[in-house]
Amino acid sequence: MPHPRKTPAIRKVLVLDGTPNHLAGFRDIANHLVQVAGDIFPEITRYTLDDLNIAPCLGDFDCWVRTPGLCRTRDEAQDIARAYHDADLVICLTPLVFGGYGAALKGALDRLLGLLHPNFCARAGTTRHFPRYDRYPALLFVGLSELIDSEASLLFHEL
């Protein structure tokens, strides 16, 4: 009988809550999910992205070459990047927008670019960035929609 593979325990969970404030139903769902996660995992850090002033990525690649791993723009995205690096699991909550992420989550994820190495490698048949660090958190994306749209759901799943 094969030896069961051990998976690392999830202790630190980061929630990137991209649900917009004006969609109260989505925010209620996000609050419930975070409450349930808090009952399961010992440490939860939540960033409600709609309440933060996160600047867009400048696209200057300083985070890759001048200050590796650190964006030169000073705002809450720096704290999010540290929490992402230290997390065992990152849960991303977002409304489905044409099958993709909402603007708040997309902007926050763009600012995590510095956590990857600028050079590329081929892996699993695709081109990827080399990892900058030895360990990255597991990711769980939760897309919320008021309507059932199978095409948007399929696209979100592919992302």
Q: Looking up tokens 């360990």, which residue turns up?
A: 135
Q: Can you give the pLDDT at residue 85? A: 95
Selection from 51, 31, 47 nearest residue 109 by Cα = 47
- Quickly state the pLDDT bin for 4 (edges 50, 70, 90): low
Q: What is the mean pLDDT of residues 76-87?
A: 96
Between residues 92 and 124, which one has the greater pLDDT? 92
Q: Backbone phi, then psi, for 116, in 5-degree steps?
A: -110, 155
| DSSP alpha helix (H) spans, the chain | 24-40, 62-65, 76-86, 103-110, 150-158
Q: Can you give the pLDDT at residue 76? A: 95
Between residues 86 and 158, which one has the greater pLDDT? 86
- Quickly state the pLDDT bin for 153 (edges 50, 70, 90): confident
Q: Can you give the pLDDT at residue 43? A: 95
Q: Can you give the pLDDT at residue 69? A: 86
CB 98 within 8 A of CB 152: yes
Q: Can you give the pLDDT at residue 106? A: 95
Altogether, the residues listed in the chain come to a count of: 159
Q: Is the pLDDT of residue 109 over 90?
A: yes
Phi-psi region of 49 (alpha: psi -120 to 50; beta: other; left: phi over 0): alpha
> Mean pLDDT in the chain?
90
Greatest alpha-carbon pair distance for the chain in Å reads: 53
41-71 confidence digits (pLDDT tens):
989 999 999 999 999 999 999 998 898 888 9
Question: How many Å from the N-terminal Cα to the C-terminal Cα in the chain?
Answer: 36
CB 70 within 8 A of CB 82: no
Between residues 63 and 14, which one has the greater pLDDT? 14
Prediction pTM value: 0.88
List residues bridging with 14 in a β-sheet: 45, 90
Who's near 73: CB < 8 A, 6+ residues apart? 55, 58, 111
